[in-house]
Amino acid sequence: MTVQSELMQRLNDSVADIINIRRHLHEHPEVSFQEKETARYIKDFYHQNGIETKNFGNGYGLVVDIDSGHPGKTLALRADFDALAIQEDNDLPFKSKNPGVMHACGHDGHTAYMMILAKNLFEMKNKLRGKIRIIHQPAEEVSPGGAKSMIESGVLEGVDNVIGVHVMTSMPTGSIGYHTEETQTGRANFTITFTGKGGHASMPHLSKDAIVAGSYFVTALQTVVSRNIDPFDTASVTIGSFDGAGSYNAIKESVVLKGDVRIMKESTRKVVRTRIEKIVNGICDMFDVKADIDYDDNYPVLYNDPKITEKAMSAVSHADIPEITEVFDCGPQDPSEDFAYFANDRPSCFFYVGCQTPDGANHPHHSPDFMMNEDCLLIAAKAMGTVTLNYLEK
């Protein structure tokens, strides 16, 4: 029996364990930077199986090192484990027990398949070459993200390349999606507070209306992309919150706006930020108000190294994994992802495993009814395992 066939058989025999872990994590979600019990659960699993763990970063990041004892490269495999501040609407026997918190993006599945894959790779380590570093990363969802501090604390020291996976409800179960070069958007968030002078609605001439200033800002913001970004480039600017609640007969002294920026080229990032700041300054002059800007340039554009990605996807395509029906270039993806920090530091590959439910219904990520087809978990384990073995052997 080849090492590949042995790992595939081991994973087939571990399906129930993967699903049980995923369902436990789904029942007990924790939001970014608060994943204390989740980290303890992961650590206990490894320790019960005689596997040591190490802590990295300023959160709950965990690492497992698998050393074959034979010469070769070092490959890091990353899985995230934080949940979101969302109230779950699904009627499931393993529905979230934490009010207002839900695994609405699939990170419970990422962690479950990775724990079982790591256990099996550890047990097979004498048959492998090189080293594998398993990275269980917290806080993917919230800036500054968990990847950044783990990298700063040395999690990639000695690592040659990094591979990551994300389940995708927009892709049929059985499909594997990938893209090379710029693959997921970079991100920024901002909060802007306009402050004028409040007053009585019957005497507007004695006030400086922050709502009017904020409204003009929202309108002017629409020109940032439409009149400053090359139509062949990709960018978006969104105002997600306009907090101007008050009385019907009072002019607001201040309003707070929160916005989101996505870009597909790092060169676009500075253009967008500069235009936003200039518009804010113009609004202040126009309406004689003041503005406070809190602008957070965070997740980079996720860049997939073409060589690493093409080799990884070739390995999956030629592995004859029966559960995989298609390996295809899915094109760039709109969301941002803090795996981009790993990809900025080492040549990396981040690919996607379809998890659409059998009925084809829409259960989008970050929604209260997010739902995955759990068949995707074995597929993720087999795909990542295949990539790992092929990498270490070649």
Q: What is the DSSP letter of 205?
A: G
Nearest to 337 by CA among 225, 183, 234: 183
Respond yes or no: is residue 82 known to be catalytic: yes
DSSP assignment string, 57-83? TTTTEEEEEEE-SS---EEEEEEE--B
Q: Which of 140, 141, 297, 374 is catalytic?
A: 140
Residue 141: both structure tokens together = 């969802």
Does the annotation count 230 as an active-site position? no
DSSP label of 14:
T
Give the CA radius of gyration of the chain. 24
Question: Cβ distance 70 to 154 under 8 Å?
Answer: no
Residue with tokens 């609405």: 104
**Per the residue annotation, which of 30, 35, 82, 374 is the catalytic one?**
82
Report how far residue 138's alpha carbon sits from residue 80's, in angstroms, rounded to the nearest whole number.
6
CB distance 89 to 146 below 8 Å: no
* Among 82, 79, 105, CA closest to 162: 79
Burial 200-221, CB ≥16 within 10 A → b, else e: eeeeeeebbbbbbbbbbbeebb
Q: List, by residue number, the catalytic residues.
A: 82, 140
